[in-house]
Every structure is written in C-alpha cells, then in structure tokens.
Amino acid sequence: MEKISIITICYNSERTISQTLNSINNQKYKNYEHIIIDGGSSDNTLNLINKANIYLSISALFFGLIFIDLYGVIGKSLGVYYSTPQLTVFRNLFALIPILGLAALTKQLSVLFKKVSSRLLYLCLLRGICFLSVQVFYFISIINMDFAIATTLAFSSPIFIILLSVILLRENVGIYRWTAVAIGFLGVILIMKPNSDIFNIYAVFPLICALSWAASTVILKFIPKDSSVLKINFYTLVFSVIGSIILLVSSSNYTYIQNNQHLSLLMLMGILGGLASILFIFAYRTTSPSILAPFEYIGIPSSILLGWIFFSEKPFGQLFPGALLIILAGLIIIWRENKLKA
C-alpha cells in the first residue's frame, strides 16, 4: 500500500472538526499523512486540533518514559548475571524489532536504504557512539547505585545541552539560561554529596550518560532536514549495535544465557527501548518540544516509584532538594526557550 495524503480544509469548523479527526484516526488504512489547512478560523477550531495532538503526544511521551524506566529495571536486575557490554548488545539488537516493524507497517522499509548520504552516515555514526555511551554508563550507574538516584542525575541532560550548544553551535546564552545551569549543577551536587561519607564514585557515570545524550541531541542540528526521523534512528541504532558487539568482543566478558526467562527479559528490555524511541519520535513530530519538555520530568517520580517497588529503595533524603533543583533548572530553560520563540 502506498502512502496517501489526506487534506482537510477548514474554517470556523468547531462543530465538525473533532468528528473529522476521529473519523480519520479510526481508518484501517494507516499509511497516510494528514494535512490540515485552516483559513484563519476565529472560533475554537484550532484549539480543538491542537488539543487532540497534545493529549496524544503527552500520552506517547508518558509511556515512552515508563518503558525506559522498565527496561532500566530489567537491566539492573540482570546486571548481576551479565556484563554491561552484553546488556548493551541485547538492548540495541532487539530494539531493531519494533523499529523495523514500524518501517514495514508504514511501507518504509525500502526507503531506509535509498538516498543515504555519506554525511548522514557519518553523523549517525557519531550519534551511535553517543547512544552506546549513554547505555554503557546508564547500566553501570543503575547496577551500582540506587535506581532513582542514577535516573535523576541522568535527567540533568538539558544543562549539558546548553553548554554544548555554546561550544559547538556558537549559540548566545543569556543570564536566564546560565542561571538555570547553575541551579541544575547545584541540584546535582546536593544529590552526589561529594564531601560526605555517602558519596559514590559511580554518581559521576549518570552525568556522563546525560552528557552523551546531550551530545546526541546537538548532533541532530547538523543532520540534513530532508532525512526522515525513522532513517536517522535506524542508522544510529545500527552503529550502536556494531559498537556494542565490538565492545563485548574486546572485553571478553560474555556469559551464556542461563535460562529462557533471562532470554525473554533481555528481549523485552530491547523491545521496550525500541518502543520508547518510536513513542518519542511520534510525540515530538506531532507537538512542539517546548510543550512536551516539562512532561519529561515524569521520569523522575516514576523511577523513584519503580526503585521502591522492585528494589525496596528509599533514597528520599539524598534525592531532595537536589531533584527539585534539577527539575526547576529544566523548567527555567523551557520557559526561556518559549520566550525567545514568542
């Protein structure tokens, strides 16, 4: 089935636009794009259109964050039996299943291998290295630290995005965003407590994870705009798979899968990671990042809850008020970005 375009032209259609959107969403034929052309409606039409997209995007983002936390829980549980390089191989390899499945469902499998420029491959290689770094340091962190603390520190990535944007993109950063950086780093220090007896050297690793994630985000700025999101993520993941296999072979730290339950969990871990990527792609393609970004911090309380449920962790004293300062820093950055775009 070929991809078709559905074009809806509307003007002051608040009484019928919701029915139209529902009708299109309920179609069995899914390989389509929906283009809405509004003629300058003065009623509630645009609000109804945007609200439908926002609710769907927030839901996708929410489940994406939950999937990431769940695959982290699996990684921490299996880290007792398998090495970090081995976990990254399974994480990346099985993540290809939902991504290739989506490509097949949308009839884009052949598109993945057409018009692949050397520049795209080079930048995806860099992103693949960054992704591999994210996974390696994430697994090391959650295996050796409280799950919630490692995850919260990893949410400091917006701070590093600003720093890398100044260095690599030559962006001008004003007092508001530098203030956010300072507040965020203060939150990180309060959680790490470097001068106390409870300081854990592994607390540095989720910060490297956050830095690597920030680098992969900044690299996106250099990728040609005509490259599809699915193609970018596919080749990034391919290079991550190759890198994780090289890392495993060079480490010579391989343990045979002990039982079918472990194999199923390793597969589930990769599939959850791949599904999370798909949900993030969908969310950020349908709704402005400035609207969605505050909801990313849902990942912090969910990681605290999962850490308590699965590992009986209660690191509340170490997390607060540092976690609140990291969230505050992120919200300041988001608020400032919205002001600059207004």
| Predicted confidence band of residue 162 (pLDDT cuts 50, 70, 90) | confident
More confident residue, 230 or 255: 255
Token pair of 327, please?
């969230």
Measured between alpha carbons, how far is residue 82 from residues 68, 73, 87, 139, 214 in Å?
Answer: 19, 14, 7, 11, 28
Name the pTM for this structure: 0.77
pLDDT digits (tens, 9 = 90+) for 109-141: 887 888 888 888 999 999 999 999 999 999 999
Q: How far is the C-alpha of 325 from the C-alpha of 19, rounded, in Å?
A: 43
Greater pLDDT, 217 or 121: 121
329 and 297 in contact (C-beta within 8 Å)? Answer: no
CA 138 to chain centre: 13
DSSP H helices in the chain: 17-25, 45-78, 84-105, 118-144, 147-154, 157-168, 175-192, 204-219, 229-251, 260-286, 289-292, 299-311, 316-319, 322-341
**Model pLDDT, residue 289:** 54
